[in-house]
Amino acid sequence: MDELYFFLEVLIGGLLSGTMYSLVALGFVLIYKASGIFNFAQGTMVLFAALTFVGVLELGAPALLAAVITLAVMVVLAFAVERLVFRHMVNQPQVILFMATIGLAYFLEGLGQTVWGTEVHVLDLGIPDRGLWLGPILVSQFDLVAAAVVAGLVGALGVFFRTTTMGRALRGVADDHQAALSIGIPLHHVWVAVWSVAGFVALVAGLVWGSKLGVQFSISLVALKAIPVMIIGGFTSIPGAIVGGLIVGASEKLAEVYLGPFVGGGLENWFPYMLAMLVLMVRPEGIFGEKIIERV
């Protein structure tokens, strides 16, 4: 019986930590849906947002003001990225756009650390980080709060996409750029908007990750794991990002606990990528992705 409880404990812990991957993957999906850009810099945006937030906080601003300022910075960033980079790169192959976002990732990483320094910043949002006994199973309270934040964010984004004008415009652009342009949706504004929303998601992810791991460089590497999450879930699907995150979180924890001892541990570093590769072999478009149709 104890073994079953232990299994459940690992599984639940994995699922909950998987929601944090979902949070980063959500930002990827938003931008990919609206512009077809695979934004490699999303992970760095998480780090950048967290660094900015902590930096402003340490200057003595209250948390709410710091959040507003950081959000403003992310919106300015969205404007700059659209104006200076992607406006000039229309009609380029997707792979070139992808490489440009790698450049952007480097740029942001350097900028964030030049301005705010490299030391690990402690971020305490007052989320309790204690174990919680649910019957015989130990669950991290922090992970529960994080999962709740993700659920709330997904709900809010769902409402935003379904009911607001901007949300509908975003969905229109995602479906078909040309059709959206022809009925008068301003493409450039929509892109700025979607990068801003992705910036907001990055801020939330940065706060959650930052208060768990400390705000430091390694966040952007951990956030790289959102890529297999998207691959598994499908590039164009928000539910896919959530489900992918849960699968990755649960499977890497289970692999670490049950396979790790045989091979010396550290499986977490590569297991999600291998899993994603296997999924790709079977279903190249991911679980929830749209079918890829190609013609000459």
Partner 1 sequence: MFYRETGQYKTTYAADRAIFPIRQDRVAFAVLLLVAFVAIPLLANEYWLRSVLTPVLVFSLAAIGLNILTGYTGQLSLGTAAFMAVGAFAAYNLEVRVPEVPFLVSFVVAGLAAAGVGILFGLPSLRIKGFYLAVATLAAQFFIEWLFTHVGWFTNYSTSGVITAPPMTLLGFSFESAESRYLLTLCIVVVMAVMAKNMVRSELGRAWMAVRDMDIAAEAIGINLMKTKLTAFAVSSFYCGVAGALWAYVYLGTVEPQAFDVLRSFEILFMVIIGGLGSILGSFLGAAFIVLLPIFIANASGIFGDALSAETIAHLEFVIFGGLIIVFLVVEPRGLARLWQIVKEKLRLWPFPY
Q: How many helices (H) and strands (E) does the chain have?
A: 13, 2
Q: Measure the CA–CA gap between 274 and 228, rounded to whole angstroms.
A: 9
Kindly state the smallest distance separating residue 293's Cβ from partner 1, in Å. 11
Contact residues for partner 1 (CB under 8 A)? 38, 84-85, 88-89, 92, 94-96, 98-100, 102-111, 113-114, 117-118, 221, 224, 227-228, 231, 263-267, 269-270, 273-274, 276-277, 280-281, 284, 294-296
The residue among 109 and 143 lying less far from partner 1, judged by its C-beta, is 109
What one-character-per-residue DSSP string does 134-164 give? Answer: ETTEEEEHHHHHHHHHHHHHHHHHHHHHHHS
Kindly state the smallest distance separating residue 96's Cβ from partner 1, in Å. 6
The residue among 5 and 106 lying less far from partner 1, judged by its C-beta, is 106
* Residue count (the chain): 296
Kindly state the smallest distance separating residue 222's Cβ from partner 1, in Å. 12
The residue among 99 and 138 lying less far from partner 1, judged by its C-beta, is 99
Kindly state the smallest distance separating residue 62's Cβ from partner 1, in Å. 28
The residue among 5 and 270 lying less far from partner 1, judged by its C-beta, is 270
SS3 state of residue 133: strand
The residue among 118 and 164 lying less far from partner 1, judged by its C-beta, is 118
Q: Hey, how many other C-beta atoms are within 10 angstroms of the C-beta on 201? A: 27
Kindly state the smallest distance separating residue 280's Cβ from partner 1, in Å. 5
Q: Largest Cα–Cα distance of the chain, in whole Å?
A: 63
Q: Hey, how many other C-beta atoms are within 10 angstroms of the C-beta on 145? A: 17
Q: Cβ(169)–Cβ(160) under 8 Å?
A: no
